[in-house]
Chains A and B, each alone.
Chain A
Amino acid sequence: MFKKILFSTTGTSLCDAAARVAFDMANRYGAKLFIIHIFGIPDRSYSQAAIDIKTGEKVDLNSDHFQKVQEEIKQTYSEQIKHNKECEFEILAGIPGTEILRTARKKDIDLIIMGARHSKKEKKSPQQKLIIGNTLQTVARSARCPVLIIGRTAASFWGGISNILFGTDFSKASDSAFLFAYKLARTLKCTLNFFHVINISEDSSGNVMDQNEIDDRIRDARAKIREKYLSRMEEFEDYEIDVWEGIPYVEIVKYSREKFADLIIMAHHSKKIDLEEANIGTTMEQIALRSNCPVISINHTDKI
């Protein structure tokens, strides 16, 4: 399924869960694993200086430093490397999101694996926040291949996939996510759970939907799922459909728990997110941080 996997890491414990999954998947699917670590953001305009993301210190971008950082990363993953000797390391300086996307494109990557959190939120200075932005959102928004996100340690015990939760909001991006979920379900012979959430949070005038309206919407959504997705599935019977009302990310997390889902697949919206939303975190981010299983974000059909 995946020939080339790109694992992006900060080299800290925050990425341990993602690392476990990355090495496991690479071994399981016989994929070539590229490990990318972006250690510093450019600091002094055109000059060769950067701020180390971890320590906040100024460092010089010369090959000595790159070498040193590479050794550190190799050390961090020394155990895993023992079982995967062909993995390659790339150490870069730049804006993390940009460099991950650049590398994924250059190497024609089939799957990107990342942790949900890349730094302790308190440590980031305002301009780091402004300039680095949200790496996860940047990558999920623009990546041409699926992005696998591991938020919690609980989500990293990859025992194989038998139950997929496909969350949809009926957008064009969701179409791509569906195709991927469908292909995966067929290939791995697992159950595909279609799920849509009717968002019942207050609208701008403070009104909440009444129950009759909610019921109507649930019915409409089920019909839509049948029309949009089931019609495109050939001889695939192992599926279920559910539509619940609530706050989207909460319901998805609950539903995945109930269904013992091993993988959540959804689309991340490609429209640029404004700063407000970026602070709160998108639905997908919230899910990634809370669910018991990994989340795959996919927007495009290039790599299906």
Chain B
Amino acid sequence: MTENKLCNRIPVNTKEELNGLLQDKSGKQYYEEMDNLEVDAKALWRTIQTTCKSRIRTWLNICAHCGMCADSCLFYLANDNDPEQVPSYKIQSTLGEIVKKKGKVDTTFMKRAMDTAWGKCTCCNRCGQYCPFGIDMGVMMSFLRGVLFSQGFVPWEMKIGSGMHRIFRAQMDVTTEDWVDTCEWMEEESEDEWPGLKIPIDKKNADIIYTINAREAKHYPEDIAEAAILFSIAGEDWTVPSEGWEETSIAMFAGDWEGASMQVESVYEAIDRIKPKRMVVTECGHAYRATVIEGPYWTGQKNGKTPVETLHYVEWVAEALRSGKLKIDPLKKIKEPVTYHDSCNYIRNGGLSDCGREIMSYIAEDFREMKPNRDHNFCCGGGGGLNGIGRYRKQRNTALKVKRDQILATGAKLVITPCHNCWDAIRDLEEVYKIGIRWSFLKPLLISMVEVPEHLKPKDE
């Protein structure tokens, strides 16, 4: 077997390796090399034996093949009820087969498994809610991703993303210097409208430590400024860390548990250094899932909790509105029909659906619920990393149909989606299907509606 330069079992740990992958246009060479990647059947079986225990084994065995999971899956529905998209089929034909064959599978099989694990599933966990036995196929698919990653069968962008986290402790190549510089820049820029606005860095014992998604630093710095403005208006004693400031996890999407653990560890270390009372994470769903829900287990916290109480942004906003720290000008409430997208990672898998409704009651006059909603809402279509994988762009665009139809049914003109990935998905939904909607995070909307205390208003002449 020729030594694969790009596509192999070794995770990306150096900038050279990362660059090597980045130079490969759309991963062309990478996927070609994948055809030559041999399966290490012994290692594969060992992985299964050591990590696939009775919960997953029983799930695989006890499936009654009833097909009730089919209608729960957005891919099944978006693909005109294609039987090959039935969740049980997807997992039985991949992980089920690996277990049955004791790891003796070939490269073609693994490539197909990769196409299923990343192209036919966003790990939204909705299927688990509709199975009478409570078989969570999303959890199994995530496990499968880990197995595939260990064997090197991951999509190109996933390998790069996992590398980014390992090297930069962020999903994009933003260094600590870049990050701190961006904060200072946003402070300067906001000076005119928000005199005295500060973005405190590494302030020990602050009430709140705020962590973000790297793409805010790289492409959308105004998001950081908006967060600062809202914290300032609410009078919060807050800070950002200079290191451990990023809480997303492409590594989690990639099935790179080690990388994901390293990433989360950097955030927990920041908490340890700064000793805040609480942590607030930006509007990002999978970041919450990775850092707050799964993270404690990757890093060995026995009680399954983060070192300090952690809030998703919607929790903080709901609390601020409830307690009056943020007051909405009733004349500026949203008057047009508006709906709320429940992101899988912090709603279905995080239990925070109440916060969204509470916020809506303060800021919207014509709030329309999607059907179904809350924990039973559908994935946006781009979760689990699917938004970024070029190889499955077509599948992703098809999957958007379900969300599109949900939005159309509400008659809403504005979709509020406090999650970076979902925001992208709905943006793409509008680009592909042109249904005439607008979409937004919470921050810009809140800033346009909130009453500003006198001491924060710019001094006019």
Contacts and interface: CB of A to CB of B under 8 A. Distances in A.
**Do chains A and B directly touch (beta carbons under 8 Å) in the complex?**
yes
Contacts of B421: 45
B390 interface: yes
Interface stretch (A20-28, A46-54, A190-198, A215-223): A46-54
Given A46-B172, A60-B26, A172 B193 contact: no
A280 interface: no
B160 interface: yes
Interface in A23-61: 42, 44-49, 60-61
A229 to B, nearest CB: 13
A84 interface: no
A76 interface: no
Given A45-B215, A46-B161, A130 B461 contact: no
A61 to B, nearest CB: 8
Given A98-B221, A271-B193, A46 B390 contact: no
A299 interface: yes
A62 interface: yes
A261 B222 CA distance: 37
Contacts of A175: 461
B16 interface: no
B456 to A, nearest CB: 14
B223 to A, nearest CB: 11
Contacts of B214: 46
B424 A45 contact: yes
B420 interface: yes
B25 A126 contact: no
A299 B164 CA distance: 38
B109 interface: no
A44 B390 contact: yes
- Most chain-B Cβ atoms within 10 A of its Cβ — which of A42, A48, A61? A48
A270 B26 CA distance: 41
Contacts of A94: 218-219
A101 B189 contact: yes
A271 B354 CA distance: 35
Which range contains the number of A residues in contact with the other chain? 35 or more
Contact of B157 (A42, A48, A98, A105): A48
Nearest to B396: A44
A241 B347 CA distance: 63
B25 A95 contact: no
Contacts of A62: 22-25
B289 to A, nearest CB: 15
B219 A172 contact: no
B389 A46 contact: no
A119 interface: no
A106 B177 CA distance: 12
A126 B181 CA distance: 31
B309 interface: no
A283 interface: no
B219 A105 contact: no
A46 B250 contact: yes
B237 interface: no
Interface string A186-210: 0000000000000000000000000
Contacts, number: 86
A98 B220 CA distance: 8
Contacts of B427: 127, 131
A47 B188 CA distance: 29
B56 to A, nearest CB: 28
B461 A45 contact: no
A84 B430 CA distance: 45
Given A44-B387, A144-B188, A127 B431 contact: yes
Contacts of B22: 48, 61-63
Contacts of A60: 25-26
A275 to B, nearest CB: 9
- Most chain-B Cβ atoms within 10 A of its Cβ — which of A47, A49, A102, A272? A47
Contacts of A64: 23, 25
A105 B182 CA distance: 10
B192 interface: yes
B438 interface: yes
A62 B24 CA distance: 8
B32 to A, nearest CB: 16
Given A125-B431, A299-B192, A45 B390 contact: no
A142 interface: yes
A270 B193 CA distance: 7
B171 interface: yes
Given A127-B431, A171-B461, A42 B23 contact: no
B460 interface: yes
A230 to B, nearest CB: 17
Interface string B41-78: 00000000000000000000000000000000000000
Given A48-B157, A101-B189, A172 B387 contact: no
Contacts of A98: 219-222
A170 B160 CA distance: 53
B192 A42 contact: no
B29 to A, nearest CB: 12
Interface string A106-149: 10000000000000000001110011000000000010100000
A142 B189 CA distance: 6
Interface string B210-226: 00001100111110000
A47 B388 contact: yes
B230 to A, nearest CB: 15
9 contacts: A44-B388, A45-B420, A45-B421, A64-B23, A94-B219, A101-B189, A125-B431, A142-B189, A272-B193
Given A62-B23, A98-B219, 18 more contacts: A44-B393, A46-B214, A47-B160, A48-B160, A60-B25, A62-B25, A95-B219, A102-B221, A125-B431, A130-B438, A131-B427, A144-B188, A170-B461, A175-B461, A270-B193, A271-B193, A272-B193, A299-B192
